[in-house]
Each structure stands twice: as C-alpha cells, then as structure tokens.
Amino acid sequence: MDTNFLTPYRFHNGLTVKNRIVMAPMTTMTSFHNGMVTTDEVAYYARRGGGPGLIITGVANVEASGKGFEGELSVASDAMIPGLARVAAAIHQDGTRAILQIFHAGRKSNHKILRGEQPLSASAVAAEYPADSEVPRAMTAAEIDQLIADFAAATRRAAAAGFDGVELHGANTYLLQQFLSPHANRRTDQWGGDLTRRMALPLAVIAAVKQAAAAVERPFIVGYRLSPEEIETPGLRLADTLAFATAIRDLVDYLHLSMGSYKRSSLNDKQDTQPLLAKFAAITAGHLPLIGVGSIERPADAQATLDLGADFAALGRELIREPNWVQKVAAGDAASLRVKLSPADMAELAIPPVMQDYLRESFGEVIHFTTNARAVADYQAQLAPMEGFEKKL
Ligand SMILES: Cc1cc2nc3c(=O)[nH]c(=O)nc-3n(C[C@H](O)[C@H](O)[C@H](O)COP(=O)(O)O)c2cc1C
C-alpha cells in the first residue's frame, strides 16, 4: 500500500515538514483557570511530539471575552508566553512542527464561563445548538477593531513562544465563523450583509495576522480552519464556504477542514455524494495545501485522504489512543496500532485526568473505549461533537 503521507512537504515560505500526518487540534481542558499552561498539558504534548509532521494545539483564546470553556488555553497576554514555550518545546522533538490554534468563542460561551459577562458575537442572536444557548451582545465597531488587534498580538506571542505558526480557528461555529454565517451575523454595517460583506471580518483578521507573521524572522505559517456547512436555516452552505476558500486561498498558508469523516459528503444536500474533501481540493490545488480530517485510524485512511486531494491527513482521536502512530507505521508495524482506548492505559498515554473525564462525558460513544460496546464507528453523515457543540460542556 502507498504511504505517501510519510513524505516531506515544503511550504511556500520555506518551512519544511517531515511528513503529511498532522495532529488535529484537541483541547485538553487542562489549562489553569486563567488559561496558563499546566505541567500535565506539557506532558501530554511531549508524549505525542516526534511522530507527526505538524502538531496543532488545542484552541487558545486571544482575549478573555473569547473564552469558550473551562481549562482552555489562553494567549491573551504576554504572561502566557513562558507556558506556551514549554508546549512548543515539548512538541519540537525529532523535527515535529508546532502550530498554536487561536480563536474567540463568541456566542459559543456563556456568562458562567465569562465570570458574569454576556457573550459577544456579530449580532444578538443565540445559537440554535445547544437549545439553551445564551443571547450574545452584538460587538461594537471598537470591539471589532480590538479583536483584530488581539489576533495579531496572539500571533506575535505564538512566535515569541517558539511556535512555527498559528491556525485561525474559523470552524466549529466560533466567532470567525459567526461573522461569516448568515445565522449569527445580521449586521448592517461594514461587517455584515451579503456573503462578501460577511467575509470582511475574517479577511481583516487574516490580514492583521499575516502582517504579524511577516515580522517574524523565520518561516512562520498561518493556517485557516473552517467548517464546510451549517445545518440551521439561515446558515452557511457549501457554496458559501467554497467561495470563502477561493477568497483566502492565496492569503493563508494552508486550509484545514473540520469534519467528522474524511469521506463525508454534504450534510444539507443528500443528492450530492461527492466527498467534500474533493470539492475543496479542486479549489486549493496549485494554491495552498489542504488538510483533510475525520475518523482517520489506519494507514489506508490516511492514504485515502491524500488520494481525495488533501496534502495532509490530520488525526485527532487516533493520536490520543496511539501517540506512536507515525513511528509504528514507518517501521512497518501497523498491526500494533491501538485503535481503541483502554481506561487502564490513560496514565501511560499521558492523558491528563481532566481530559480523561471530558473524553468519558463528551466523547464516550466516539472515542472507542475498549469497555464501551455501544461505540459508533465514526462521525460519518453527522456533525462531529466539536463541530456543532450539541453537548453542553
Ligand atoms: C477531545 C477533543 C477535543 C477537540 N478540541 C478541538 C479544538 O480545540 N479545536 C478544534 O478545531 N477542533 C477540536 N476537536 C475536533 C478535532 O480537531 C477533529 O476535527 C475531530 O476530532 C475529528 O477528527 P478525528 O475523527 O480524527 O478525531 C476536538 C476533538 C476532540 C475529540
């Protein structure tokens, strides 16, 4: 079988990556109350550094109002840099590159997480999922200017901490996606309106972040993650996100989809059975690399992801269960890959106790515990848990 995913990749700006396997961003829920890195978190990344070409961290908020859940990383102040530097160093083993994922949760937060403050968003419209989502406050023009500056400052801090790049989290219904979405964005000023106008905020953030990246004196990459569709009406449809991908394909260094299955086709248009990955690959080819993701467990899945047109294959849950995935496959030992998670292996896998709880409570059916007979195979034909947040955290 082909294992093209073990070949290196060179970005336009000269950054080289040793293979095409990416660790998908996965929050560990293990940071301190203020978003500072904990030693448990460093150990979790150290256990996984060295195999994948790229490791993308769990998401970090760029300002306090952007915190989406307890135990989330923060990159909102310079005080966070020393801890983040420990994460980058833990990832940087045997040439693995480190990417910090950055975001603002927007309306996907609540007043408890925000210590009494009302969540912010493009407009004062509550999310449909989960049903008890709070109504956010529409951001003022000054707050939007501040947000753009905060994304740039977060990028500067990521570089200072030694990361090789940042990923803008424009997926999973968080704030960047909220501005793009006709459901969350009902503004009538320069940041809202038709699709072109709803792209204005993500484009302004990309421009500011690229400017900060250009000031880094080594190759530093800026990736963008997006969710291909929303299921509410009004909501983002495939035509919107394909147009957005076209708009940014010469602006960022990679495009990363957020999907529960790399094979998935449209959620809204069941007649259209072409895999979404192939649709986005048609847009990214010759412009920028594409990262595919979703239920990749075996080498054949990673190869199939590349065969559909992706340049990288991101593994999420599988790298929780099997930190030595790349080393085993490279050694011809795919037979020993662990595709199930035993509760007895948690310590050996350096999974922090808070994350163990989170995996049991929010991902019990899909993390593939050896002890759970009701486990579902993959997230095919449904939103992945983080994509729509149907469970309240
Ligand atoms: C425990 C856990 C935490 C996650 N946290 C994030 C996150 O912080 N940012 C993000 O973009 N996606 C997050 N995701 C989604 C994953 O990046 C990935 O898209 C999803 O798990 C599908 O890939 P998989 O089937 O290989 O697990 C998370 C997923 C899991 C299981």
Nearest-CA residue for atom 31 of ligand 1: 317
How far apart are the CA of 387 and the centre of ligand 1, in A? 8
How far apart are the CA of 65 and the centre of ligand 1, in A? 22
Q: What is the pLDDT of residue 363?
A: 87
Q: What is the pLDDT of residue 385?
A: 67
How far apart are the CA of 169 and the centre of ligand 1, in A? 12
Q: Please give the share of the chain, as a percent, with pLDDT higher than 70.
A: 97
pLDDT in tens, 77-98: 999 999 999 999 999 999 999 9
Nearest-CA residue for atom 2 of ligand 1: 26
Task: List residues near ligand 1 (CB under 6 A).
Answer: 24-27, 58-59, 101, 169, 171-172, 225, 258, 260, 293-296, 315-318, 363, 384, 386
Q: Are the CB atoms for 245 and 226 separated by under 8 Å? A: yes
Q: What is the pLDDT of residue 392?
A: 36
Q: What is the pLDDT of residue 376?
A: 77
Distance CA 245, CA 254 (A): 10
For tokens 């210590």, what's the residue? 115
pTM for this entry: 0.97
DSSP character for 134?
Answer: P
Mean pLDDT of 225-235: 96
Residue to mutate, 26, 74, 101, 383, ligand 1, most ligand atoms under 8 Å from C-beta? 26
Residue to mutate, 75, 376, 386, ligand 1, most ligand atoms under 8 Å from C-beta? 386
Instruction: Name the pLDDT band for 386 (thresholds 50, 70, 90).
Output: confident
Mean pLDDT of 294-317: 97
In terms of C-beta distances under 8 Å and separation of at least 24 residues, what long-range contacts does 363-368 make, across chains too? 363/317, 366/317, 367/317, 367/320, 367/321, 367/341, 368/317, 368/321, 368/339, 368/340, 368/341
Q: What is the pLDDT of residue 378?
A: 72
pLDDT in tens, 109-135: 999 999 999 999 999 999 998 889 999
Full DSSP string of 251-312: TSSEEEE--S-TT---SS-TT--S-HHHHHHHHHTTTS-EEEESS--SHHHHHHHHHTT-SE
Distance CA 338, CA 259 (A): 22
pLDDT in tens, 8-42: 999 999 999 999 999 999 999 999 999 999 999 99
From the CA of 363, give the closest atom in ligand 1. 31
Q: What is the mean pLDDT of the chain?
A: 95
β-partners of residue 286 are none
